[in-house]
């Protein structure tokens, strides 16, 4: 029994090119996803570790108490509340750093979801950096003033971030997310990413 008799139709066989010439070459892969992905993985891993360490309010408070010469003169309850706020910001920073780590893995593997997640991370990182830097500046200044008003001093631990230090923190914290937002918005990047899985 032939294929036509059984009711099945065989699909036509593709015809190879008959014109002489070169076959169309595949488009070369760009290097930016791997480079940006590795940078994101490194910063994400370091940020996760640093944020997790900074999220421990008790360790921060103990380190601060060790540097104060006259411990009984300071209102440690007020200082503890301020340090707890700093620890919460550090925890949020650790979570965002973990997200950046995932973004980096997605970029290295050329996954389209990495771009969407990277844009979301970038916006959240800018907001947290601005709020965290402003809050940390105010709180560290108030802790330093509370210790000075108590008539004591610290040994070695810098307190009271300077305006220049706060500005440097903003530039450092917002540099990569601003770059990502600009880079991912470029037309040629969007066209390339459209072919990713």
Q: What is the pLDDT of residues 133-178, one digit of tens each?
A: 888 887 777 767 766 666 655 554 455 456 777 888 899 999 999 9
Residue 118's pLDDT is 98
Calculate what percentage of the chain has a pLDDT beyond 70: 66
DSSP 59-124: HHHHHHHHHBS-GGGS-HHHHHHHHHHHHHHHHHHHHHHHHHHHHHHHHHTT-HHHHHHHHHHHHH
Residue 197's pLDDT is 86
């Amino acid at each position: 029994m032939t294929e036509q008799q059984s009711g099945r139709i065989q699909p036509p066989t593709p015809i190879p090119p008959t014109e002489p010439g070169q076959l169309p070459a595949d488009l070369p892969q760009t290097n930016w996803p791997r480079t940006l992905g590795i940078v994101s993985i490194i910063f994400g891993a370091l940020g996760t570790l640093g944020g997790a360490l900074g999220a421990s309010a008790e360790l921060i408070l103990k380190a601060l108490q060790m540097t104060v010469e006259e411990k009984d003169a300071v209102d440690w309850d007020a200082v503890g509340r301020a340090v707890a706020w700093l620890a919460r910001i550090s925890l949020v920073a650790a979570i965002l750093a973990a997200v950046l780590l995932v973004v980096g893995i997605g970029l290295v593997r050329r996954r389209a979801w990495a771009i969407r997640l990277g844009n979301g991370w970038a916006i959240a990182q800018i907001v947290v950096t601005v709020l965290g830097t402003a809050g940390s500046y105010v709180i560290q200044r108030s802790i330093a003033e509370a210790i000075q008003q108590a008539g004591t001093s610290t040994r070695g631990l810098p307190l009271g971030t300077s305006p220049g230090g706060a500005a440097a923190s903003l530039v450092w914290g917002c540099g990569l997310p601003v770059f990502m937002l600009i880079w991912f918005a470029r037309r040629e990047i969007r066209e390339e990413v459209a072919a990713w899985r």
